[in-house]
Structure 1
Amino acid sequence: MQHSKSLDLFNKAKQLIPGGVNSPVRACNSVGGQPVFIERGDKSRLFDVDGNDYIDYVMSWGPLVLGHRPPEVIQALMQALETGTSFGAPTHLETQLAELVTQTVPSVEMVRMVNSGTEATMSAVRLARGFTGRNIIIKFDGCYHGHADTLLVAAGSGVATLNIPGSPGVPQTVTQNTLSLPYNDIEGFKQVMAQQGDQVAGVILEPVAGNMGMVRPREGFLETLRKETQKYGAVLIFDEVMTGFRVAKNSAQGLFNITPDLTCFGKIIGGGLPVGAYGGKKEIMSQIAPTGPVYQAGTLSGNPLAMAAGIATLTALQKDGVYDTLETRTSDLMNGFKAAADEAGIPFQSGHVGSMAGFFFTDRKVVDFQDAKTSDLDRFAAFYRGMLAKGIYLAPSQFEACFVSLAHTKKDIDDTIAAAKAVMAEI
């Protein structure tokens, strides 16, 4: 494949944008490559400026569960555009989307729309502190909750990709009330709660980790978090920005039958447009201004275009058989990758929850961030480059999940597995 136009555009971008990208992982530094510049997307495929096409498993980092340019979303956006792009005032679309969310996710009785996942998690943490009158927030190593100062501690995602432990510009005074514990460590969490539980405002986590690669919660982990937070009066916050409406119809909390106090959403609820939301029990959400003293606001919150796209996406996901199809396609893909690695004699771990998946080049079972970091990063980089050359677009980081959409066909999956076999044999 030729990428000369992408290279020219990247060189120009680097003169105007830090690193040439607007989100660090996109620079492809960890995989020894350069980004391809995308011209358009259609169904399961991306097309770059050099005329190459790829089967896409990034799917805009998760939102595009229906694929690129699904007709129902495009139609909804066109209708919304006829009325305007932004009003900074209430619209009926906000209420419609809020109703869809609350009807599908029982723990969410009220919801506030924001503009990004970072805004959602930042606001949920502030609300937990305001509601409880406490300061300490517990998060987990390798879980990324956006780039708000309070939560940028032992984060995964791009922070892990770039091997940055935290970030300059975040004072210790800001993070001194944030504790980061090992993911899936049941006994360790219980010990901390026994020592400091009455000072903990909230516990926030990805119920299925997607920013250290895809890591499932071990049996009993989520149940322990729920039991201990209730015991000590702390707020349990599920960050479902990635898992929301992707791993199951009623999200990860429905799949694992756990009821959090607050939930953060993003990605899918905006149908591919910038969006975020947080919601939960009325008792807690009523503390948000203007009904309560905890302040949060946003000029573009509830933007009509994002609301319209979100409504169209969530409505499409209500159809029978949707999640069965996603599960089958994703299972086939991961099984195919594992078989290709086994055939090549390469240590390999893989897994999926719904249409969210991940894999590691290690013989160690991955249950936390330390396990994830045992993956052979050089081999991952070689696999990434080899797959890209064969027209398969994967996330350019070992510490990101991959995503399957309803637009992916059986042929897409079969072609991807065939490419993986060829690349595994070479690396």
Structure 2
Amino acid sequence: MIYKRSSALFAEAKQYIPGGVNSPVRAFKAVGGEPIFVKEAKGAYLYDEDGNRLIDYIASWGPLILGHAYEPVLNAIIDKAKKGTSFGMPTEIETDLAKLAVSMLPNIDKIRFVNSGTEACMSAVRLARGYTGKDKIIKFAGCYHGHSDSFLIQAGSGAVTFGSPNSPGVTQGTAKDTLLAVYNDLESVAQLIKANKGEIAAVIIEPVAGNMGCIIPTDGFIHGLRALCDENDILLIFDEVMTGFRLGRGGAQEALGIKADILCFGKVIGGGLPVGAFAANNEIMGYLAPDGPVYQAGTLSGNPLAMSAGLAMLTELNNNPEIFTSLQEKTAHLHIGLSKALDKKGIPYQINRFGSMISVHFTDEPVMDFATSAKGNNDTFKKYFHGMLDQGIYLPPSAFESYFLNDALCYEDLDATIEAVDNLDLS
């Protein structure tokens, strides 16, 4: 494919924007080459600035469950925009969306809208600390909860050590309150709790991880985590920025049969627009300003455009639960086809799938945490990514990202994707 216009736009962008992008993964650093600039999108397809059509497997990193430019969502945004785009005052549609979201989510009484998934997770941790009166949190290596200081932490010398910052600008003071556990390893969590008895406010986790590829919780892991939290008066926070309203109308709580104390959401709750939210029961949310002492605010929180898009999206998902079955069946079809195509290559690989999330890892070892994900052959992944891109398939430009299917994908698209893998030379 030809990408002359994208290359020219990238060169220009680098003169004015750090790295030429506004989010690092877009720069193609992990796969080499230069990023594709999108001109427009519709349904399951992206159309780039050079006129190429690409089958899309990122869906704006998850929220476009029904595909790009979905008509009811677009119409809701247009109608609302004609009446004003932002007021910094309450609007009825905020309550309408809150009421619908709460009705769809297990174990939730109230929800607060914010402007991003990062802000939702940051606010959820602050609320947990305020509610419990404790300072420390546990997160898991490879789980990404946005770029707030508390979350940019890597491992120390052992499972029970304090974390250390892995981004300049994150202070040691912040790092000491973030403890790092291993995904799918309950013992690593138990050790941290034992070493920091009575000091841990919350455990935050992607219940089905999507930021080290799709990583599925092993049997008993999430339930064991729930039990550890209950035994030690620790709040369990589910970061459902990726899984919320995607794995089912009730998200990961419904899919896994487990209840969290606080939930965090991202763009899906605004139909793909910049938005986020966090939610909990009445007792916990009662600690949030203006009812309680934990402060959180935002001029654009509850923005009417995002609220209208979210209401249209969630209404569609709520009224048509067969969408989730359709997505799962399409993802299973893709999984089977990818496996058959990759089997012919004679190279080691693993495919992880949960619901409509899926990822391919070029390793002979099961991928169940960040360490095993990192063992994947990145040179093979680069060949795979660019070989697929050359055939009109847009995959996440990093081995550490999940694919997100949208329901606008048809079986012809899936079969074209499988055929493209069949055509690859990965030797």
Q: Is TM > 0.5 for Structure 1 vs Structure 2? A: yes
**1:196 CA displacement:** 2.2
**1:94 CA displacement:** 0.7
> What secondary structure, in the 3-state scheme, does the structure 1 residue paired with 2:203 have?
strand
Cα contact 2:249–2:321 (8 A) shared by 1:
no
**1:175 CA displacement:** 1.2
Corresponding residue of 1:364:
365
CA distance in 2, matches of 1:215, 1:393: 21
Cα contact 1:153–1:175 (8 A) shared by 2:
yes
CA distance in 2, matches of 1:195, 1:275: 37
**1:348 CA displacement:** 0.8
Query: Do residues 402 (structure 1) and 403 (structure 2) align?
Result: yes
Cα contact 1:197–1:234 (8 A) shared by 2:
no
Corresponding residue of 2:387:
386
Q: Which amino acid aligns with 1:413?
A: L
Higher helix share: 1
Corresponding residue of 2:121:
121
The within-5 A match list for 1:5-404 is 5-154=5-154, 166-318=166-318, 319-404=320-405
> What secondary structure, in the 3-state scheme, does the structure 1 residue paired with 2:14 have?
helix
**1:191 CA displacement:** 2.5
> What secondary structure, in the 3-state scheme, does the structure 2 residue paired with 1:198 have?
coil
- CA deviation string 1:163-213 (max 9, x = no partner): x97101101111111001111101221232233241110000000010011
> What secondary structure, in the 3-state scheme, does the structure 2 residue paired with 1:59 have?
coil
**1:225 CA displacement:** 1.1
Q: Which amino acid aligns with 1:86?
A: S
CA distance in 2, matches of 1:197, 1:381: 44
CA distance in 2, matches of 1:209, 1:386: 26
Deviates more, 1:334-343 or 1:298-307: 334-343
CA distance in 1, matches of 2:96, 2:382: 43
> What secondary structure, in the 3-state scheme, does the structure 2 residue paired with 1:55 have?
strand
Q: Which runs of 5+ in 1 are unaligned?
A: 156-163
Structure 1 pair 251–197 and aligned structure 2 pair: CA distance change class (3 A): farther
Cα contact 2:248–2:324 (8 A) shared by 1:
yes
Cα contact 2:179–2:192 (8 A) shared by 1:
no
Cα contact 1:142–1:154 (8 A) shared by 2:
no
CA distance in 2, matches of 1:6, 1:321: 38
> What secondary structure, in the 3-state scheme, does the structure 2 residue paired with 1:138 have?
strand
> What secondary structure, in the 3-state scheme, does the structure 2 residue paired with 1:119 have?
helix
Q: Which runs of 5+ in 2 are unaligned?
A: 156-163
**1:153 CA displacement:** 1.1
**1:150 CA displacement:** 0.8
CA distance in 2, matches of 1:70, 1:240: 22
Cα contact 1:150–1:178 (8 A) shared by 2:
yes
Q: Which amino acid aligns with 2:390?
A: A
Cα contact 2:165–2:171 (8 A) shared by 1:
no
Q: CA RMSD in A?
A: 1.2
Cα contact 2:383–2:426 (8 A) shared by 1:
no
Q: Which amino acid aligns with 2:370?
A: F
Structure 1 pair 224–197 and aligned structure 2 pair: CA distance change class (3 A): farther
Q: What TM-score does the superposition give when structure 1 sets the normalisation length?
A: 0.96
The alignment of Structure 1 onto Structure 2 pairs a total of residues equal to 418
CA distance in 1, matches of 2:88, 2:226: 37
Cα contact 1:253–1:259 (8 A) shared by 2:
yes
Cα contact 2:134–2:199 (8 A) shared by 1:
yes
**1:115 CA displacement:** 0.2
Q: Which amino acid aligns with 1:100?
A: L
CA distance in 1, matches of 2:197, 2:373: 28
Q: What TM-score does the superposition give when structure 2 sets the normalisation length?
A: 0.96
**1:344 CA displacement:** 0.9
**1:320 CA displacement:** 3.7
Structure 1 pair 78–147 and aligned structure 2 pair: CA distance change class (3 A): same
Cα contact 1:138–1:179 (8 A) shared by 2:
yes
> What secondary structure, in the 3-state scheme, does the structure 2 residue paired with 1:317 have?
helix
**1:426 CA displacement:** 4.2
